[in-house]
Structure 1
């Protein structure tokens, strides 16, 4: 009977992987909806405890989320559009600065050979591409026309996300109860315990780390804009997004900001000190305030595991794989930890009298 169960679960896992592989082009909106429902379920649960019905709690959460999202879009989109356009304009000038200022300095300091990086070819390629259109809008419109069906499909998926999220969030507790009722009776407690550990890991990462990313994006963008960096908003938000992996946002952000600052300020001391100070303050707040407050001491995913999971998921299943990467990595981490415990108590390691963990 035990062998039959093992083969059953192995077959179910293989079927699930095949299902995801074959249908991953259409799974993205459903996975996004599932993640949104998972993240907002605790909020709806608190509203239920205050006496609000489940449906009205979901409606309230959705209304607040949409209002906040629309406000952010109305403010951020015009500002980001200006910065993208500014970056588009500055690209040839930045290449000139790299070719005639930065690289000669590096050659002199490090004894590099002349012409070790062919900037002329890079500039020619970018200039040729920029000369094909008069503005960024033309590039976007031409691409949209060439891939109209893909654009329509993207819009349809975008509209599908809130609909699916609403129904998933409204029926979340019912779905969890039905899934639990289908678990094998003799293994229910163990499976629920493992699911609880996976929930702790995912909750710490999906809710806590996303809030940390948002806070860091605001801190970096606001600080760089106060310093006067032209591309401060763009670089700050990029650093916040890259903070999904600890320390990566800091490394990417401060590197891009220093390069942009050297180009804009010409190496002036005080603006460069200000740029470095923004990232040092952000890093200090992340370590001493944001992570302890928003993530706490719950077990998170190791940075290497995060990088590998995202790259592997994207390589195997595209965008769907990226969405699945972190939940699957969290489950695997919990299972590996329990396999480690079982191994320490097994005859292979030293029998039942082995050291306790």
Structure 2
């Protein structure tokens, strides 16, 4: 399988060719058009052949995320197949440990939800009235009570409802089998993609014209910097913040501290969303488990320290400024892609926008060197 891949790969010591500005401009414009076309093709495949495209994309994303670890093991003298097996084995052990630990924790936390909302409807209003020093309107008190009762009823019936949905989905044998096979094939495809990752890269590089290979490799390296900064960086930042939030809220003796911490931590991938939800849920938890003003101080300190650590140390060191997307552009991208492509669009919104940012920057840089922009004559 690897022999034809090696035939088309370029020579190891391929000399870089210095391109003239006009030729480099054509290469960059062609590369930019190719990247936009590739992204359009990905979304088209997801829309038309989602059952096939999603497992393949998930496998490629897994291989891309784990490749640095396998490459590091390979540099230490370990065979790539053995390194891939070690990494997959380690991931399997970590996932098994996380499931064995987190599933009981989240199950216990979820069991508290109906009582949580019921107590919220009964206690939050008196707490708010005490803070304001005046009673709330009767209509608001009545709506809060109804909301708590309905939320409790919905959550209590969530388990049986989910079981019925799973049973009805499983009743459609063809769809159930296709989904199950799609999930099972992801780690298999990811293993082979990760094992052959260098050969796949060389295969793509081998299709690039020899004179343009240096510049095109540089552009793909810029895209890799952006994607790696987002995918690996944001997940790492989310995990660190989840631990910080959960630890601080647990110290404040707030119910569902782990759930709130995870929501606030990984919700940070959408600017302001995670922090806002975390603060609201934490304050609600304080009202329901009031033991003194020290709880408010601990909650405020937790979010303050976590936000300062995230802004000053965690994100600069883990992510850096390689993604370079403003909060407004991230929010707009998520809303736009979510409207166009649903949940898949939400997941791919920020990576796609980051890639398009690199493409736009390359196009603008080349345009600013043209005679049309500078006003210089072509022959001068």
TM-score by structure 2 length? 0.79
Give the Å deviation of 1:335: 1.1
- Say whether 1:34 aligns with 2:56: no
- Out of 271, 281, 285, the position equivalent to 1:260 is 285
The SS at the match of 1:310 is helix
2:310 matched to 1:286?
yes
CA RMSD across the alignment: 3.0
Q: Which runs of structure 2 are paired with 1:94-105 in the superposition (5 Å)?
A: 94-102=120-128
Q: Which residue of 2 aligns with 1:161?
A: 186
Aligned to 2:168: 146
Q: Secondary structure at the match of 2:191?
A: helix
Partner SS, residue 48 of structure 2? helix
Q: CA deviation at 1:316?
A: 2.6
| Residue of structure 1 in register with 2:231 after alignment | 206
Counterpart position of 1:312: 336
Q: Relative contact order (C-alpha < 8 Å, sep 6+): which is higher? A: 2
Instruction: Write the distance in 1 (CA, Å) between the matches of 2:155 and 2:252.
Output: 30
Determine if the alignment matches structure 1 residue 87 to structure 2 residue 110: no
Structure 1 window deviating more from structure 2 (190-199 vs 140-149): it is: 140-149
Secondary structure at the residue paired with 1:229? Answer: coil
Shift of residue 72 of structure 1? Answer: 1.3
Going from structure 1 to structure 2, the CA distance change for 1:257 and 1:182 (only over 3 Å counts) comes to same
Match of 2:266 in 1: 241
Gaps of 5+ in 1: none
Q: 1:326 to 1:20 in 2, by over 3 A?
A: same
Of 160-169 and 116-125, the range deviating more from structure 2: 116-125
Moved more, 17-26 or 334-343: 17-26
Q: Deviations over 1:285-329 (max 9, x none)?
A: 222332233223434433333333333333333343334333321
Number of residue equivalences: 343
Structure 2: which 5+ runs fail to align? 1-25
Instruction: Find 1:343's aligned residue among 356, 367, 373.
Output: 367
| TM-score, with structure 1 as normaliser | 0.84
Distance in 2, Cα, partners of 1:17 & 1:86: 40
Report the more deviating stretch, 11-20 or 178-187: 11-20
- Taking a change above 3 Å as real, the CA distance of residues 205 and 127 of structure 1, as seen in their structure-2 partners, is closer
CA deviation profile, 1:16-35 (whole Å, cap 9, x unmatched):
55333211343222222211
Against the structure 1 CA distance between its residues 323 and 249, is the aligned structure 2 distance closer, same or farther, given a 3 Å change threshold? Answer: closer
Partner SS for 1:301: coil
Aligned partner (choices 260, 275, 296) of residue 250 of structure 1: 275
Residue 33 of structure 1 aligns to a residue whose secondary structure is helix
CA gap of 1:238–1:153, structure 2 versus 1, over 3 A, is farther
Residue 186 of structure 1 and its aligned partner are, at CA, apart by 4.2
Take 2:149 and 2:184, find their aligned partners in 1: how far apart are those partners? 41
1:51 correspondence with 2:77: yes
